[in-house]
Structure 1
């Protein structure tokens, strides 16, 4: 169970920037398309970087006070 350290809220956290996860999946279509045709995808490293960035950017916040949960 999650509990906010600031306000004591025990409701599930709210995910902010959740739209980044489907966008990241769409970014992976380009390297996969190149790999399926037998080419080395030069977009592979940017896709990995965007994946790491989106995982960091999605935040769990308290539904009542809006502070970030760890």
Structure 2
């Protein structure tokens, strides 16, 4: 069991909202970034944030089905 499994639904929703905001900001940075290295670094962060978002959404969905 991960620490995220112990979060309340409100805490989980807060973390999901933060991740969604982070992803929006990273997409804006990617649009403004120049240079392949910057774009690659931002793309890696976007992927990382999306993976975390997907994981938390699965936890929330599983909890809401109970």
- Bigger proportion of residues as strand: 1
Q: Larger radius of gyration, structure 1 or 2?
A: 1
- Bigger proportion of residues as helix: 2
TM-score, length of structure 2 as denominator length? 0.47
TM-score, length of structure 1 as denominator length? 0.46
